[in-house]
Chain A
């Protein structure tokens, strides 16, 4: 990419976006090269929230690392802890009891509901549909309350311990979950109608950011982003972990490949999560919650892949026989999906960029985002709010 005075090449301009913006788990910096309104090149700079977690893990015990890994992501913390626990359990040759595995699935699906509802709201907000944003976030509180009742925390639930889980399902919590799920299922039918029939909303999603199945496979995208392009990939189905071999998931795949398809996949996955949660509660195995874990973990390496709300989450753990991991490698689903944004944005209007970014469901934090638009007439600083409004106004005119 160009820098300094090299920004202006004929009629092409580089539009830097970020790093302070709320659209992503990590604040990120993008540079979109535009020719008029059309994006012709895109590049990213990550790392503004790099905390050195992989290195830190090398000087923490396995137990300490578990709680640290839960903090990689504030939205999908449970899958991180699950993936790490499964790796360490493989290395120690210990298997968590069936009841613990079922509760892991239960919390994972509750987490998926909260994550997908959160994303639905943010996606709607970026499209200028704030009523949908407020309704979906209001409803999300139902599942947050359930998570708090079950685990004690709204976020970073720490449901996992090495060798099992630490929270149990009592009759009172069971009733609360079932009541909440019934309410959410009814609401989700409404959301499904909205995202598939609302003309103003479809204008922002149908045919936008289209990715063919071939592109999706070549770019290696994962999760709902891949399934929206017809890629049959869901690790809960392909390689069942925890108790997904007992509580079978039906894969949700759409062929559209555009933003609309990604909305439909995620909303349909909500129905699937409701069904799995009911099934887990009806068939919860009796027994212990934890298996005994050694403090020192046998030498070796283990790899686990789990299906986070955003797609394949990869964990590699290597032990050297002590009580501390020798190496922990994490690959979150946003990274390959982010790579797809850089390809998909090309050829689109700048006004579509917020929606394409939101479409992969990057983790959202709550900071403001600033966009700096460099033009021949000098620098003009745009806030994320201004770019969002620009996108909405662009389509209103």
Chain B
């Protein structure tokens, strides 16, 4: 399937569900959607194996903007479709996509510990990358994270 056919197909799948579709690069399609529409739109994109979830990028747009963005990247051959979900920084909540994409659990666990986002319905909320003794409520990929002042934790031998 050529890139043009992929773009036509992506638009056909997205148009009934989203308000506006942008094309930031020749091989990319972006759609900004509210969090409660995420599952519907994602389902439409992965239907019949047309695309797969490559990863989820988390963005902290900063204290001033007061927003976080979560970018769901779907690969379909040469085309990359990105669903952008913006949530308030003060109360970041997004739904889990694990019900339709089981392998997304690894990406969601990373988002939770790195950005402090609440993901409703995700099957596993354990830490994935950060150590067990990483202080609670400290989210390293947030822009206001102060890397010079992490809480110093004394590592104790597990056997003790």
Which residues of A come within 8 Å of B, CB atoms?
Answer: 43-47, 50, 52, 54-55, 59, 90, 214, 217-220, 233, 238-239, 301-303, 305, 312, 314, 316, 318, 327, 329, 331, 335-336, 338-340, 343
Q: Say yes or no: B80 contacts A305, CB within 8 Å.
A: yes
CB of B55 within 8 A of CB of A329, answer yes
Interface residues of B in 89-146 (CB under 8 A from A): 101-103, 105-107, 124, 126-131, 140-141, 145
> Is the Cβ of B55 less than 8 Å from the Cβ of A217?
no
Assess whether B77 is in contact with A336, with CB atoms less than 8 Å apart.
no
Contact with A along B21-65 (1 / 0, CB 8 A): 000110110000000000000000000010011110111000000
Q: Determine if B129 and A220 form an interchain contact, defined as CB atoms under 8 angstroms apart.
A: no
Contact status B128-A45, CB under 8 Å = yes
B86 interface residue per 8 A CB criterion: no
CA distance A207 to B75 in the complex (A): 29
Q: For residue B82, which residues in chain A have a CB less than 8 angstroms away from its CB? A: 303
Instruction: Tell me whether A329 and B75 are in contact in the complex, defined as CB-CB below 8 angstroms, given that A55-B141, A305-B80 are known contacts.
Output: no
Given A218-B49, A239-B78, decide whether A329 and B57 contact each other with a Cβ distance below 8 A.
yes
Q: Is B71 an interface residue (CB 8 A)?
A: yes
- Whether B103 and A327, one on each chain, are in contact in the complex, defined by CB atoms closer than 8 angstroms, is no
A47 touches B57 (CB 8 A): no
Q: Are A339 and B128 in contact (CB under 8 A)?
A: no
Residues of B contacting A219 in the complex (Cβ-Cβ under 8 angstroms): 102-103
Say whether A220 contacts B27, CB under 8 Å: no
Bound together, the chains give a CA A91 to CA B24 distance in angstroms of 12
With A and B bound together, what is the CA distance between A340 and B58 in angstroms? Answer: 23
A220: chain B residues within 8 A (beta carbon)? 52-54, 101, 103
Task: Give 5 pairs: A residue, B residue, CB < 8 Å, sorted on A.
Answer: A46-B106, A46-B128, A214-B49, A220-B101, A305-B75
Question: Which residue of the partner chain A has the closest CB to B76?
Answer: A238
10 closest Cβ contacts across the A-B interface? Answer: A47-B129, A331-B55, A239-B78, A339-B103, A220-B52, A217-B49, A329-B57, A50-B129, A238-B77, A238-B78
Residues of B within 8 A of A343 (CB): 102
Least CB distance, B26 to chain A, in whole angstroms: 10
| Chain B residues within 8 Å of A45, by CB | 126-128
Docked complex Cα distance between A335 and B126 (Å): 17
Cβ contact within 8 Å between A47 and B25: no
Give which listed residue, B27, B126, B127, contacts A239 with CB less than 8 A: B27
Known A-B contacts A47-B127, A52-B140, A316-B71; the reply to A335 vs B106 at CB < 8 A is yes
Per the bound structure, the CA–CA distance linking A233 and B1 in Å amounts to: 12
Give chain A nearest CB distance to B142 CB in angstroms: 10
A305 and B77 form a contact (CB under 8 A): no
Q: Tell me the complex Cα distance, A44–B126, Å.
A: 10
Q: How far is the CA of A314 from the CA of B82 in the complex (A)?
A: 13
Q: How far is the CB of A372 from chain B (nearest CB, A)?
A: 12
Is A314 within 8 A of B54, CB to CB?
yes
A303 to B74, CA, bound (A): 12
**A43: which B residues are within 8 A, CB to CB?**
124
Compute how far the CA of A54 lies from the CA of B28 in the bound complex, rounded to whole angstroms. 23
Question: How far is it, in angstroms, between the C-alpha of A301 and the C-alpha of B73 when the chains are bound?
Answer: 14
How far is B56's CA from A336's CA once the two chains are assembled, in angstroms?
12
Residues of chain A lying within 8 A (CB to CB) of residue B55? 314, 329, 331, 335
Closest A-chain residue to B126, C-beta based? A45
B140 touching A327, Cβ below 8 Å = no
CB-defined contacts of B80 to chain A, threshold 8 Å? 303, 305
A332 to B109, CA, bound (A): 16
Per the bound structure, the CA–CA distance linking A229 and B39 in Å amounts to 28
In the complex, given contacts A47-B131, A52-B140, A303-B28, what are 11 additional A-B residue pairs having Cβ atoms less than 8 angstroms apart? A44-B106, A218-B49, A220-B54, A239-B78, A301-B24, A303-B80, A303-B82, A305-B75, A312-B75, A314-B54, A316-B73
A338 to B128, CA, bound (A): 13
Closest chain A residue, CB of each to CB of B78: A239
Question: Which of chain B's residues have a CB closer than 8 A to the CB of A46?
Answer: 106, 128-129
CB-CB under 8 A for A331 and B127, given A55-B140, A305-B75: no
A59 contacts across to B, CB distance below 8 A: 147
